[in-house]
A and B are shown apart, each in its own frame.
Chain A
């Protein structure tokens, strides 16, 4: 009934060190961490796109995964309408395609060329394609990249309503913590190792978190800064919350 993924991984430069995590059915888990923290590596290993050096990954047999990669680049040399793109997921009736697009608020788009879509529209089309597979797990790597703030909020809302409707597990990679908070069940803070995991509400009530919130809103320049702190913050939050796992570093 659940999609359990477990991994312990290390590579040449130790990208991931003794990382364990689970994803259950109907649960939204967000992976946050600074650049180079190993977020994308972890996701690629969980998806089976890369092999782990140490440890193991468990996917429930027959698990259907809908994958929305980071920044999908579609070359103009391949003529492709939204319809053709969606049908690559498998054979579907016209009505299913329309329903999937409506779900993502993209009506009347079937015959548009994919290269003409905006970043936000393309992102939604990719999610619609993943939904057509009736996935057990939806994996989104930085889904909000290149989408404006308003668009991001509605994107996360959409992801949440998809989870509610399909009862699939959702794994997201993100660094805009403040927007993800509202629509995630569990946050895993990754910086080579798992710093901590826990319910986002407990974290967000903490005064240090509000500082992070502000810093993140200011933009990318503060990014690594805010993350150095979130590392400590989550450590500080640990006693306040009956979170799943404690901070594993000194």
Chain B
């Protein structure tokens, strides 16, 4: 007999997997893994602010994402520090600030669980949240397919994309918003500390089996969904924490794909 909460967890996991795979591919192509990580680390601050302002957590996460991107853009104007250093500064200061705001929040709202945000709480997801996740996944995939060619074109070469008439800044900014939305959706599933793994590991696994960008995107969805099923299954039968189990499952799949050579 399979319990409703497991079905809910699988539904939520699949909703996330189908967007994490494709967006993860672009993150991998454009070498944005560290940017994604920074966005994820700052999500706690976004959630804490949203909860204290009594608005939807996703709004807080997207808002902090925009602030972060603006800060990064401003800091990069001066050339003496590279962007990985700047991202490192922003990631950890945003996380530290998030932890402080969260602690202040806990004194006001007892019972709000930090660990659930850091490592996910997929077994506690309810149907309303699942409906929200599917709605945002459909929206994200819609925008993603609308921007598909510019995104691939920019991954190949930004200068060429620009001379082809691609609005590079617009596409970059919109993609950042999509990423922030995925991270907001992922908090319940794997938590903010592990979301980058769900973005890049399925994409990396898919590479070895793909000859085209589209194949890689579709396969990354498959790998992400597989990881969700294996991870949640393992957590149900072996009583393991669900979020980390999903990430470990994705990693195991990745190492299995390493047995195959890249068909370049």
The reply on A93 being an interface residue by CB < 8 A is no
Interface residue count on the B side (C-beta < 8 Å): 23
Which residues in B have their C-beta under 8 angstroms from that of A47? 159, 162-163
For window 123-155 of chain B, which residues contact chain A by CB distance below 8 Å?
A: 149, 152-153, 155
B179 within 8 A of A: no
Contact across chains for B156 and A78 when beta carbons are under 8 A apart? yes
B238 within 8 A of A: no
Q: Is B97 an interface residue (CB 8 A)?
A: no
Q: B residues touching A (Cβ–Cβ < 8 Å)?
A: 28-29, 149, 152-153, 155-157, 159-160, 162-164, 207, 210-213, 215-216, 262-264
Q: Which stretch of A20-28, A84-92, A209-217 is in the interface?
A: A84-92
Residues of A within 8 A of B28 (CB): 77
- Contacts A65-B163, A75-B29, A79-B216; is A115 near B264 (CB within 8 Å)? yes
Contact with B along A53-80 (1 / 0, CB 8 A): 0000000000001110100101111111
Distance from B27 Cβ to chain A, minimum over Cβ atoms (Å): 11
**Interface status of A231 (Cβ within 8 A of chain B):** no
Closest B residue, CB atoms, query A47: B163
Report A-chain residues with C-beta under 8 Å of the C-beta of B160: 67, 69, 72
Footprint of B on A, CB under 8 Å? 44, 47-49, 65-67, 69, 72, 74-81, 84-85, 88-90, 113, 115-116, 133, 139
- Could you show 26 A-B contacts with beta carbons less than 8 Å apart? A48-B162, A49-B162, A65-B163, A67-B159, A69-B160, A72-B160, A74-B156, A76-B262, A77-B28, A77-B29, A78-B29, A79-B210, A79-B211, A79-B213, A79-B215, A79-B216, A79-B264, A81-B212, A84-B212, A84-B213, A85-B156, A88-B152, A113-B263, A115-B264, A116-B264, A139-B163
Interface centre among B159, B163, B216 (most CB of A within 10 A): B163
User: Are A113 and B211 CB-contacts (below 8 A) given A78-B156, A79-B216, A85-B156?
Assistant: yes
B159 and A78 form a contact (CB under 8 A)? no
Note all chain A residues with C-beta closer than 8 A to B213: 78-80, 84
Q: Is the CB of B215 within 8 A of A69?
A: no
* B163, A80: Cβ atoms closer than 8 Å: no
A88 x B29 contact (CB < 8 A) = no
From the candidates B149, B163, B164, B264, name the one contacting A113 in the complex (CB within 8 A): B264
Whole-angstrom distance between the alpha carbons of A47 and B215 in the complex? Answer: 33
For residue A126, which residue of chain B has the nearest CB?
Answer: B160
Q: A79-B207, A81-B211 are in contact. List 5 more A-B contacts (CB 8 A).
A: A47-B163, A76-B264, A78-B156, A80-B156, A84-B213
CA distance A47 to B216 in the complex (A): 32
Cβ contact within 8 Å between A49 and B163:
yes
How many Å lie between the Cα of A139 and that of B157 in the bound state? Answer: 15
CA distance in complex: A136, B18 (Å): 42
CB contacts (< 8 Å) of A84 on chain B: these are 152, 212-213
Q: Given the complex, which residues of B lie within 8 Å of A76, measured CB to CB?
A: 262, 264
C-alpha gap A145/B10 in the complex (Å): 53
Cα A66 to Cα B163 with chains together (Å)? 7
Given A78-B29, A80-B212: A67 and B153 interface contact (C-beta under 8 Å): no
Residue of B with least CB distance to A133: B164
Q: Which residues of chain A come closer than 8 Å to B153, judged between CB atoms?
A: 88
A48 proximity list for chain B (CB < 8 A): 162-163
Complex interface: chain B residues within 8 A of A88 (CB):
149, 152-153, 156, 164
Which of A49, A79, A139 lies in contact with B212, CB distance below 8 A?
A79
Top 8 A-B pairs, shortest CB-CB distance: A67-B163, A79-B210, A88-B153, A115-B264, A78-B29, A113-B264, A65-B163, A84-B212
Give A48 to B160 CA distance when docked, in angstroms.
11
Q: Would you call B157 and A69 a contact (CB within 8 A)?
A: yes
Q: How far is the CA of A67 from the CA of B149 in the complex (A)?
A: 18
The answer to whether A77 and B157 have CB atoms under 8 Å apart is no
